[in-house]
Amino acid sequence: MSRSVSLQRRLGLGLTLGVVALWLVATTLTVFIVQHTIDRTLDSSLEETAQRILSLAVVEIFNRESSDLLQQVAALRPHEEYITYVVRGADGAPLLVSHDVDLAIFPETPRMGLRNTATHRLYGTSAVSDTFFIEVAEPLTYRRQATWEMLAALLLPLAVLVLLSLIGIWWLVRHSLSGLLAYRQALEARDAGDLSPVEAQRLPTELVPVAEAVDQLMARLRRTLEAERSFTANSAHELRTPLAATLAQLQRLRREAPPGPLQDRSARIEASLRELSRLSEKLMQLAKAESGGLLAETPQDVLPIVTHVVDDFRHAAKTRLEVSLPEKAPVLSSIDPDAFAILLRNLIENALKHGQEDRPVEVAVSSEGLLRVINAGSMVPAEILARLTDRFRRANTRAGGSGLGLAIAQAIAAGAGATLMLKSPVTGRTDGFEARLSLPS
């Protein structure tokens, strides 16, 4: 199963990345547009400069005593020259150049119009029936520098924009999904037995039908479970009286019957009736375990309950029980006392039935609230161990029982918000069976 991704994170990151992508696209388009505009403007300036200088240069050359001499224009004051030029005669010989010119950047044969070299942007034009030519050069590095400065000015705010967009979008998404987050928290806070309607406030309109469908499903499930529990409890309760009456009549019949086959058959019938009576009792316990309300309003000490249940087993028959309890501090738990007594009784019954008869059953409660019931015996295979808490599920054993004891203990543990763990072999041993439960505090 693939790992789920938070809707809030997905929307926040998606919207932020979308804003950044749009900003980059817009920046790229802006750079191309502005660069084209800058090139057109600078080309126009280059043409205007060439034409203005050529008209002045022609007048200056005509006024010379010798018009075929090369003259370099002197600078009025030191400065960096962005535009350089050279004026040539009809034979291509240079007649007039700017003060900081490098003739190597100009071709020997002048050409008309705009063109690029590896390092400069050139413009050439002529005057006086193509007897004078001028070429003006501008370094391309200045245009590239202007483009990079413009790009930096557009991208610099992007770092701040990403952070502000992430914060703003995250806040907006969280605020918009606050109802959904509250609905999720309400679902997560419920235990397995709470099937009441979920309070949904400020849910988005698109999710209201989903919440209503969840409530309807939980209501149907609640009615089904209540009907099942009611049937189980009522059936078990209604069976107790006729079973007790039938058992009493059978016992009276056994006392009155002469020794022989009738006594044997009545003994087998009595054993079957007692097993049926125990089954009805287990069904009532199962109905209570699945009915909810397994947590007390205030935590109570569970040690007296453990002592009382163990004493009941010891008084009923000679049982092999070893108990280990904290001596001083009480062990407080929020589990319902009656439910805990039922859980402990079923765990002890299971251990006594399926453990070795010549070795004791250990019942231990730690000061941290860890309950352990351990019996000796052969190791239970992992595939069987994983299904022992199912109803009417039994291991490969000749011992009697209905297969409901561990299912009842599991239902009570789940209803109280705890986890019943079954282990075989016992921790630190090579055999045996262990049931452990961390009591809810």
Both 150 and 11 in a single domain?
A: yes
Domain final residue, candidates 285, 318, 341: 285
Q: Are residues 253 and 329 in the same domain?
A: no
Average pLDDT over residues 181-191: 74
ω into residue 425 within 30 of 0, thus cis? yes
In this prediction, residue 111 carries a pLDDT of 83
**CA separation for the pair 360, 354 (Å, rounded):** 12
Q: Are residues 141 and 41 in the same domain?
A: yes
- In total, the chain counts a number of residues equal to 441
Best CA proximity match to 270, nearest among 257, 253, 251: 251
The distance from CA 362 to its chain's CA centroid, rounded to whole angstroms, is: 42
Task: Assign 1 a pLDDT band (cuts: 50, 70, 90).
Answer: very low
On average, the pLDDT of the chain sits at 77
- Distance CA(6)–CA(12), nearest Å, equals 10
CATH code for the domain in which residue 348 is found:
3.30.565.10
pLDDT of residue 346: 84
Whether residues 117 and 230 fall in one domain: no
Sign of CA pseudo-dihedral 440, 380, 394, 270: negative
Q: What does the angle CA 149 – CA 14 – CA 3 come to, to the nearest 5 degrees? A: 135
Q: Identify the domain boundary among 254, 285, 316.
A: 285
Cβ–Cβ < 8 Å for 86, 94 = yes
293 or 420, which is more confident: 420
How are strands ordered across the β-sheet holding 321-324? 321-324, 361-365, 370-375, 433-438, 420-423
Task: Supply the range of the domain harboring residue 107.
Answer: 7-163
Q: Are residues 51 and 129 in the same domain?
A: yes
In CATH, what number is assigned to the domain containing residue 223?
1.10.287.130
- Given a cut of 80, whether residue 178 has pLDDT beyond it is no
**Same domain for 310 and 247:** no
User: Do 186 and 196 form a contact (C-beta atoms < 8 A)?
Assistant: no
Q: Which of 58, 119, 38 is nearest to 84 (CA)?
A: 119
Q: What is the mean pLDDT of residues 249-274?
A: 73
For residue 187, what pLDDT is reported?
A: 77
CA neighbor of 123 nearest in space, from 165, 150, 85, 151: 85
Distance of CA 277 to the CA centre of its chain: 50
What six digits make up the tokens of 249?
């009549």
Mean pLDDT confidence for 225-246: 65
Higher pLDDT, 59 or 189: 59
Determine, yes or no, domain membership for 53: yes
Do 269 and 316 fall within a single domain? no
Same domain, 331 and 356: yes
The model's pTM is 0.46
Task: Say which DSSP state 95 is in.
Answer: E
pLDDT tens digits, one per residue of 92-111: 788 888 877 888 888 877 88
Per residue in 122-148, pLDDT (tens digit) is: 888 888 777 888 888 888 888 888 888
Do residues 157 and 27 both lie within one domain?
yes
Give the chain's end-to-end CA distance (angstroms, integer).
Answer: 34
User: Looking at residue 92, which CATH number applies to its domain?
Assistant: 3.30.450
pLDDT of residue 4: 65
Same domain, 137 and 22: yes
Contact 421/436 with Cβ under 8 angstroms?
A: yes
User: Residue 382 pairs with which residues in a beta bridge?
Assistant: none
The two beta strands, 71-72 and 321-324, are unpaired
Among 265, 285, 305, give the residue marking a domain's end.
Answer: 285
Domain total in the chain? 3
Closest CA to 87 of 117, 50, 42: 50
Q: Which residues contact 270 (CB under 8 A, 6 or more apart)?
A: 247, 250, 251, 254
Same domain, residue pair 43 and 115: yes
Section 157-167 average pLDDT: 77
Backbone angles phi, psi at 69, to 5 degrees: -90, 145
For residues 28 and 158, state if they share a domain.
yes
At residue 26, the 3 state secondary structure works out as helix
